[in-house]
Amino acid sequence: MMPIRYRQQTNIYSESIITYSGSKSGQNLGRCDLGEEAGKTQFLRVLGRREVLALAFGAMIGWSWAVLSGDWISSAGTLGAIVAFLIGGSAILLIGLTYAELASALPLAGGEHVYSERALGAGASFVCTWGIILGYVSVVTFEAVALPTVLDSLIPGLDKVHLWQIAGWDVYLSWVLVGVAGSVIMTALNVVGVRMVALVQSVVVLAILLVGVLFVSGALFTGDVSNMQPLFKDGVSGITLVLVMVPFMFVGFDTIPQAAEEIDLPFKDIGAVLMISVAMAIVWYGLIVLGVGLVLDETAIDYSGVVTAVANSAIYGEVGGTVLLIAGLAGIITSWNAFILGGSRAIYALAHSGLLPKFLGELHPKYHTPRNAILLIGALSMIGPFFGRPALVWVVDAGGLGIVIAYGMVALSFLILRKKEPELERPYKVRYGKFVGVTALVLSIGLGLLYLPGSPAALIWPQEWGIVLAWTVLGGILYGFARNSAA
């Protein structure tokens, strides 16, 4: 059998030993019997440590910290919301450990697909990967709705030509066109190539961090602890309402394994950067909630639009609010970038395994990007703005279910591969692997139960369950077409 060799610009492998040459990543990985056809890729290995960290962290923080912080505090109280993020973040850290080990051991485009197919087989792998793609598409759709939302705050009057009303929210043509235009631009940017995406991501994340530091430091110096009352609201039920959003808020670290074939780092470092990005996101969300709680009391939060921007206005005046809105706009760009990138690589991997139609696995001849997969995600995201601002919550909840399903199946794959392939070289090997894997699996199942009927945070019918069902039907159609074509 011939060795699998990865070069900086082309990857061609057959059944054998994975080795990398021509980059920082050169090392032996162990056996990887994935098949010759699945490995004919031409991705560019251009993402360094800074770009990878910016990709994952920027994906996780996005715009939600600016627009949803008031909802979290209103649901659980300031301290209750922070506790929810600590609990949920700890669960994501454990789940992230399973990803970190698998990403370093099997650094191939597709992440969840690669791990679950190897451990559970093709059918289970499709369910796992289609679930995480739902999460990615939900985030991209969220950003397509968030863009006109934040621009409406910056430029009042973005409400021309009334179309219809959904869930009490008036939808305007001008508002829809802004969201669709944003989708077109971000889709085109991702087709052009990962270098441009990485550059934009790094610059924008740095700007967001700067604004965040100024906001939190200002809140600590000028805020009042009395504003944080009540510290807890509605007890466990309130914390649960926030906790159900946590998987959606932290989805993004898993874009690292999706883009594994474009990362130019030693494989051990891929796992380490992944874990650092999750820890940074936990700290970020906790501090943002604390800052808003210190500056605004319960009444102010209830009557504020973009709550974090209002809080920054209370600290720095009108300019402060504008600056934070611009930072929120920047956060939209970071998430949009990262999830188009991650989602398109996951679709690409499924197509190359014969689980989605082949045309979704085609790479652009010049830019080496999965253009058709990117175009599919872009087209789906354009639907969101037609449903107005209520779509923000609907896609958060529906996408969260797909995310925790994928997390659970990755944790199960982690456990199976530990037992099935103990000889597989794991550059980032997790200590107490069985405990970590079992705990991650249990936590994923626990998070998944929060979305089901009977839970205080159950998905709403027909909006949220409708999204899940529509996604399931679309996946079934595409899967059936691909399998019939291969027969």
The pLDDT score that the predictor gives to residue 11 is 34
Asked if residue 124 and residue 16 are part of one domain, the reply reads no
pLDDT (mean) for 224-252: 84
Q: Which residues contact 224 (CB under 8 A, 6 or more apart)?
A: 294
Please compute, for residue 259, the number of CA atoms within 13 A of its CA located in the half-sphere on the CB side: 37
Q: Read off the tokens for 27.
A: 């090392």
Give yes or no: residues 447 and 338 share one domain: yes
On average, the pLDDT of the chain sits at: 81
Residue 410 binned pLDDT confidence (cut-offs 50, 70, 90): very high
Query: Residue 32: beta bridge partners?
Result: 16
391: number of Cβ within 10 Å: 27
Reported as a single tens digit per residue, the pLDDT across 97-137 is 998 899 888 888 778 888 999 999 988 999 999 999 998 88
Side chain identity at residue 270, one-letter code: I
Q: How far apart are CA 480 and CA 240, in angstroms?
A: 37
Give residue 24's pLDDT: 44
438 and 464 within one domain = yes
Based on the domain organization, do 84 and 182 belong to the same domain?
Answer: yes
Helix (H) or strand (E) holding 413: helix 391-420
Say if residue 1's pLDDT is above 60: no
Asked whether 356 and 125 are in contact (CB, 8 A), the reply is: no
Residue 137 structure tokens: 């598409």
**22/45 Cα distance (integer angstroms):** 10
Tell me which residue has tokens 């995600």: 377
On the question of pLDDT at 147 being above 70, the answer is: yes
pLDDT band at residue 197 using 50, 70 and 90 as cut-offs: low
Same domain, 469 and 352: yes
Nearest to 33 by CA among 258, 353, 385, 345: 353
Q: Are residues 432 and 393 in the same domain?
A: yes
pLDDT at 19 exceeding the cut of 50: no
CA distance 194 to 454: 43
Number of domains in the chain: 2
- With contact defined as beta carbons under 8 Å apart, do 99 and 257 qualify? yes
Residues 423 and 475 in one domain: yes
User: How many CB atoms sit inside 10 A of residue 132's CB?
Assistant: 29
pLDDT digits (tens, 9 = 90+) for 202-217: 888 888 899 999 999 9
**275 and 196, same structural domain?**
yes
Choose among 85, 88, 119, 126: nearest CA to 101.
Answer: 119
Q: What is the reported pLDDT for 367?
A: 74
pLDDT at 45: 67
User: Residue 149 sits in a domain of what CATH number?
Assistant: 1.20.1740.10
**pLDDT tens readout for residues 44-58:** 666 777 888 888 888
Residues 6+ apart with CB under 8 A from 235: none
Lowest mean per-residue pLDDT among 29-33, 65-69, 85-89 = 29-33
24 with 72, same domain: the answer is no
Residues 36 and 165 placed together within one structural domain of the fold: no
Mean pLDDT of all residues in 289-309: 87
Task: Answer yes or no: do 213 and 308 share one domain.
Answer: yes
Cα gap 250→93, rounded to integer Å: 10
| CA dist., res. 132 & res. 140, Å (int) | 13
H helix intervals, 303-390: 307-316, 318-352, 371-381
For position 193, what pLDDT does the model report? 67
Whether residue 156 sits in one domain with residue 20: no
Instruction: Give the model's pLDDT for residue 268.
Output: 80
**Which domain covers residue 246, as residue numbers?**
49-486
